[in-house]
Structure 1
Amino acid sequence: MLNLPVIFTVLALIAYLTGFLYLLKQFLDKTTTNPFLVWSSLLTGLILHGLILSIDMVTPMGIDYDVFNLISFTSGLMLLLSIIFSMYRPVIILNLIATPVAMLGMVIGASLSTPNHVIREQGVGIDIHIILSLAAYAVLFMATIHAILIWFQNRELKKKQKKRIWVNLLPSLQTMESLLFDLIFVGFLLLTVALGFGFFTIDDFFGQHLAHKTVFSVISWFIYGGLLLGHWKLGWRGKKAIQFTLLGFFLLALGFIGSKFVLEIILMKT
């Protein structure tokens, strides 16, 4: 009997790898990349990635929110968002980062996920809250990686290094900073809506081990909101933007990923 998840995983890896290697070759050869070839192969991989997730996550009892399924889902979502952003900004090269992340996340989810992490008696509102939260984490994680890359660029420019690896590899600093605030703005909106759904759909924050996640998420919301306001009113950018971005995501990761890992893997609770 054919094992569909395994077949889909192999095909998705082939599609991802095809797009990644083509993009890498064009980048190393410093030749013009055909966006259609990149996007078509990566989107084919994403469709197969989505089929794997539908098999692993959608059960008769509800959606299985196993931590490894969530890693797979978030990594695929990161690549999708990376493709979308690269369609209107000249940053297609950043898919060289998002594609390996999607490949690794998919393999982790397919090989390590276990059943029976379905949230009992959940409604559509909770599912929307969780999906929006994951989307926010994916966008803000991309913003964090982006902020680190900008830090490397800034460091090379300020030290006036002769070998400017990151300056030469990446798009211009202005383009990178513009995309950073695009990412933060989208992530902030998603986090705002996710928190709104959470407050109106979750009845027992303490009984569902959600109090600490909510506290960290709300603090992160204020940090990202403060950064966007500072950028709009005071022109914040550069080092300040990097620091706020890293701090905001650290708190999000501490509240969500860290607590979920402790509950499911260490304490064996769902």
Structure 2
Amino acid sequence: MIFDEARVFVIFVLALVCYGLTTVYLMWAVTQQKPIRKSMVLGQLLIGLLGHAVVLYPDIITQGGLNFNIFNVVSLTTLFMLLFYWGFCLYRQILPLGILATPLAFLGMMIGFFGDAPYHPLSTISPILQAHIIMSLAAYSVLFMAAIAAIMLRLQISELKRQTFHRVWVDKLPSLQSMEALLFDMITVGFGLLSISLLLGFIDTTNLLAQHLVHKTVFSLLSWLVFGALLVGHWRFGWRGQRAANMTLYGVILLGLAFIGTKFVLELILNK
């Protein structure tokens, strides 16, 4: 453990404050049609991300091995999501999307800090399985970010259909074309990471039923098929807009059932 419990708690509170202040500021800037100060937002989020990582590290890296219980996974996934958002903000004008991404990281950190699940550390895992876990979490994070972009895209399309009135936040979003380009960038990256993750999983896993992974595998494959079909449809048939947003959400729901849903049943209901 890097810090004692008192210092970890102080860092935890500091990270939450950074997330909370950023969320409130973004909501204020969007609703009041004020320019968003990029340097301030990214600076606060960087402090929050560093604090989030420091708090989560001793929960995952334990003396008994890696502890990827459901609460740690939720916290780590939201950390990665916000990290990807932070990175995209460096070269894309997507700061308003933080209205959804930052509160998710806030909640994820709370869940990871206060949640209590059965302790099943991974003391002896192969390098392939380690890579599989990392790729899986990275894929989930990017694709959950794509879900946020899809939600915003759906709302944006709905508002732009209005002939006489648009809500003020619509003007703060990137253009419809930019939002769609961002969405497919995220899906492409996430699909690639998910493909690698599934390949590594099949290489390392020899008995899916015995390891209680059959449901996770089925839902992951279904999600992979949805995202693959969406990318093919976009490139060959020009699928975009509402259809692209809906298929993205379907794929992410399946992915959530694959991992978070399966871990919830195994750890909290079946206690495995």
- Greater shift after overlay, 112-121 or 84-93? 112-121
What is the match of residue 100 of structure 1? 103
SS at match of 1:117: coil
8 Å contact from structure 2 (residues 74, 108) kept in 1:
yes
Gaps in structure 1 of 5+ consecutive residues:
none
What is the match of residue 259 of structure 1? 262
Q: Is 1:78 aligned to 2:81, yes or no?
A: yes
8 Å contact from structure 2 (residues 69, 263) kept in 1:
no
8 Å contact from structure 2 (residues 145, 186) kept in 1:
yes
What is the match of residue 45 of structure 1? 48
CA distances 1:177-218 after superposition (whole Å, capped 9, x unpaired):
111111111110110111121111223221111122112111
Q: Is 1:10 aligned to 2:13, yes or no?
A: yes
- The structure with higher relative contact order (CA 8 Å, sep 6+) is 2
Tell me the CA shift for residue 143 of structure 1. 1.2
TM-score (norm 2): 0.91
Q: Is 1:149 aligned to 2:157, yes or no?
A: no
What is the match of residue 215 of structure 2? 212
d(CA) in 2 for partners of 1:168, 1:36 = 21
- Find the partner of 2:250 among 230, 244, 247: 247
Change (3 A) 1:19 1:167: closer
Change (3 A) 1:253 1:66: same
Gaps in structure 2 of 5+ consecutive residues:
none
d(CA) in 1 for partners of 2:25, 2:110 = 21
TM-score (norm 1): 0.92
Change (3 A) 1:31 1:169: closer
- Greater shift after overlay, 21-30 or 75-84? 21-30
- Greater shift after overlay, 152-161 or 215-224? 152-161
Structure 1 residue ranges, 4+ long, deviating more than 6 angstroms after superposition? none
Letter in 2 for 1:39: L
Letter in 2 for 1:104: L
What is the match of residue 67 of structure 1? 70
CA distances 1:24-63 after superposition (whole Å, capped 9, x unpaired):
4443443333322211211111111111111111111211
What is the match of residue 90 of structure 2? 87
RMSD (CA atoms): 1.9
Tell me the CA shift for residue 73 of structure 1. 0.5
- Find the partner of 1:34 among 32, 37, 44: 37
Change (3 A) 1:105 1:176: same
Tell me the CA shift for residue 145 of structure 1. 2.1
